[in-house]
Amino acid sequence: MDIRPIPFAATYPLRHQVLWPDKPVAYCHLPDDPIGHHFGAFRGEELVAVISLFLPGPLAQFRKFATRPDCQGQGLGTALLRHVLAEAARLGAQRIWCSARLATLPFYERFGLAPDGPAFEKEGIPYVRLQKDLP
């Protein structure tokens, strides 16, 4: 597996397939995509996971983290998230946060991310804001 920067448009197919398959592809676009840092996990030359990092200052946010369903549970997402946490710290972020689907909370807790507020819903799916300080 190889993790490397990718153009933001390269994240769209996996974002759509994994996160919002019932919505139009444009639903997975973010206004800030052009200024974000986007990373992909590759198996050979095949893109199997994506994540986007936004650093508006010392507070970083990662968004649209998606691993192809047939590749989940194989450590690809773990490696990609570790890479993004390290990259955020390298770029000067002191804290990082995300809005995560409540069902994924146990995964994120393994990385030290903890709830920062009550759960909320988006399109009928429960989410929770998670955060952690970076070294």
C-alpha span between 96 and 112 (Å, rounded): 11
Has this prediction a pTM greater than 0.85? yes
pLDDT digits (tens, 9 = 90+) for 108-120: 999 999 999 999 9
19-58: pLDDT as tens digits: 999 999 999 999 999 999 999 999 999 999 999 999 988 9
Alpha helices of the chain — where are they, by DSSP H?
12-14, 76-90, 105-109
**Alpha carbon distance 66, 69 (integer Å):** 9
Structural domains present in the chain: 2-98 (3.40.630.30)
